[in-house]
Structure 1
Amino acid sequence: MSDKPRVLSLAQPTADSLHIGNYLGALRQWPGLQDQYEAFYGVADLHALTVEVEPAVLRKRSLASAAQLIAAGVDPERSAVFLQSHVPEHTQLMWVLTCLTGFGHASRMTQFKDKTSKHGVDAANVGLFNYPILMAADILLYNADRVPVGEDQRQHLELTRDLAHRFNTRYSPTFTLPEPHIVKSVGKIKDLQDPTVKMSKSSSSPNGVVDLLDDPKLNAKKFRSAVTDSGRDITFDEVNKPGVANLLTLLAAFTGRPVETLVEEFGGKGYGDLKGAVADAAGAEITPFRERTLELLGEKTELEAILAAGAEKARAVASRTVAKVYRKVGLVPRG
């Protein structure tokens, strides 16, 4: 076992492809954590069951998500790359944590509250209600020191810390209280056709979302057709020029150059020049990512072997945690 602190993050397979918002906002930064941490990166296929999905579609998306993690630079030799469902200890620990969670506390979790407020309690399933508790089990199972999170996940991490503290107090010190690892912001990635809203599969138009696995020519066309603003000056003004600001944010993210520098460089140039530069910079990074993902998906046996090995790595840690927890809560060990 490594003496390094641990980091864990899971990607949910809710779409056929990640989009550039997912990639720039989170996934691209996971590989860099492998040097400093013992890393556990998985695909949260059990979480995906909280919404209705065709079985064949879920299997396809789960493998595609795993392939994209590796294509982004996650190294299976240095990190455990696995499917959540291949590590049964996730649900075993979840049940114990469920029995420590107050009904009122769970019902105040954002996702459940939002869905029931919009569509009524009958529109939500018990899986959605338990979703944050399974997420807590995902984290505590590996005694992760750090969890890469965005602002929308802070509440879930607080529940995880509360449950860890509750267990440690009721029984004995067992779980590490995880800290958030706030990923370096690249700025908010907005819809290319409506730059006043966040890029999202659920709310954006098809032409406003750039999927990583789409044909590079199609993505280049989307960038070159991005909505801009009145006037001609290229300035960073999210209120009055949201379209130009979004393009500058994207170009800065893909080139690693500050927005201020880009604004100076594009002084006197037109919107078409900026769109072309974004299309070229994004394509230079996304195209090899796409090719590597498709290569992995074309070698399904190799990908499945990587996931099997990753699950073994994960279970080596997870099984010890569950055994310890079961003993502490009073369950009889299996002979």
Structure 2
Amino acid sequence: MVKIRDIELGEFPLLLAPMEDVSDPPFRALCKKHGADLMYTEFISSEGLIRDAIKSRQKLDIFDYEKPIGIQIFGGDEEAMAMSAKIVDATNPDILDINFGCPVKKVVSKGAGAGVLKDVDLMVRLTKACINSTKLPVTVKTRLGWDHSMINIMEVAERLQDIGVEALSIHGRTRAQMYKGEADWSHIAEVKNNPRIKIPIFGNGDIDTPEKALEYKNRYGVDGIMIGRASIGYPWIFNEVKHFMATGEHLAVPGIKDRVEAARDHLMMSVKWKGERLGVVEMKRHYTNYFKGIAHFKEYRTKLVTSFDLQEILDTLSYLEENSEVFMFSNPVV
């Protein structure tokens, strides 16, 4: 049984990675429904929380059906991180997670996210500030290092564990790689196999099929797997991985009706949470992923992504559902 403090996550948990502009409550609800064991919010700026920025505060919204859930924060200032940890503590999630892995320039340039990988002493101070300011278990998500000349994940893991971090999720790329190239899990395995390391180690990067999930579980010995991009428009990935690990067999690929149901649920939850206008607009980025690989779908995809009228979008989805037998997959869908 994998545990973070007293939170039981099962024998081999599957985690939903925190993804900016993706991992909001509507998306998380679908991933939970389809088998995610532990989920995290979108990452939240510590400076934004302190300034009471509306978008940052809204990201604190969590719901009982999501539990266990972690709220993830980022920042490069000890005082701001400590104050943010206290704010997060008051919202009563199960876990406080710190992002030391985001590679995007606007985060790194502020000395936050993966930028902290260049200064492990600062990383330790920022983490300790959070641990001292919350009663919650503190976990960290990070990368292998800044670049290939500075892969310091072993030092990071040991020092973070020593100050009280209770689990570590490691993306198998450096900051310099961004999301390019292949994730290298060998360094993640070295951390897991280090006899000093007692906390759960979760691997992240490139898991997009049940076969790969099982292969990486066996090859690298991690305590669980964090799935990110492969879940966008495909929340079924979690139960598919679990079923394959348990039986060696594949679940049936979700058909058009399944995809319409998921897209409709996602849309309506977005409208309920964000309001109709914003819910409709922000849902547009998801339709292409939900209906990926379906032949002769361009006309309907165009309707979905160009319409700003909720009823028109719902009518298009209903048409697809009612005529589901007409649509075929043009190639194998993952």
Report the TM-score when normalising by structure 1: 0.35
Structure with the higher helix share, 1 or 2 = 1
Structure with the higher strand share, 1 or 2 = 2
Report the TM-score when normalising by structure 2: 0.35
Q: Bigger radius of gyration, 1 or 2?
A: 1
